[in-house]
Amino acid sequence: MKKEQAFSGLEAAIVLIAFVVVAAVFSYVMLGAGFFATQKAQEVTYSGIQQATSNMVIDGNIYGTMGATGLKQIYFWVNVPIGGQAQKLSDVVFSWSSKQNIGPTEVLHETGTGDATASKFKATDGETTEVTTLQPGEKAYIAIGVPGTTLPAQGDWFTLEMKPKIGAATLTKKTLTTGYDGGVIT
């Protein structure tokens, strides 16, 4: 007859404790991974909400002035909706294209007040004070010097894309009516 050793109660208890410890560690790791995934999902959601509510919008009409050879300047008001994030205007880029200049031209920030030079824009309070940061609920008056050597004339179109550092871009397409000599661009 063979002699078989039995599994003692102490050994069974040790194995049971080992299983419980392994299960506890595994559940801790799984809970930690779940909490981490939940936290990352919340961050992505909040970031998306921030991006969606931080866009800059054109508030009202777009106005223009004509020079001897075509559209020289355009002017309009922009704002950040309440609940959005403040926008540093030197970080905003406008992209311009027109019937004459099909490829987009970047229009960059220029300090000061008054008319902007070609391919530059200035931001003021509508009078003599320069605006550098646009807070939610505030407005800024943007003056853009139309880029290009051949300027849009009566009957020509142009597009203007406003790209803030934070938030969605806004694209506007306008056509100068025949007989347009300044004022509201419809």
Confidence bin at 2 (pLDDT 50/70/90): low
Q: Buried (b) or exposed (e) across 22-40, using 16+ Cβ within 10 A?
A: eeeeeeeeeeeeeeeeeee
Question: Average pLDDT, stretch 166-182?
Answer: 90
Residue 51 has pLDDT above 70, yes or no: yes
Structure confidence at residue 75 (pLDDT): 94
- pTM, rounded to two decimals: 0.71
179, 174, 177, 156: which is closest to 74 by C-alpha?
174
138, 166, 175, 181: which is closest to 48 by C-alpha?
166
CB 94 within 8 A of CB 163: yes
Structure confidence at residue 166 (pLDDT): 84
Structure confidence at residue 148 (pLDDT): 80
Other C-beta atoms closer than 10 Å to the C-beta of 163 total: 16
Question: Average pLDDT, stretch 2-13?
Answer: 74
Chain centre to alpha carbon of residue 76: 19
pLDDT mean across residues, the chain: 87
Question: Average pLDDT, stretch 78-82?
Answer: 90
**Picking from 84-88, 114-118, 145-149, which range would have the lowest pLDDT averaged per residue?**
114-118
157, 150, 148: which is closest to 98 by C-alpha?
157
Residues composing the chain: 186
pLDDT over 90 for what percent of the chain? 44
Structure confidence at residue 99 (pLDDT): 85
Q: What's the CA gap between 99 and 15, in Å, rounded?
A: 80
Strand partners for 130? 124
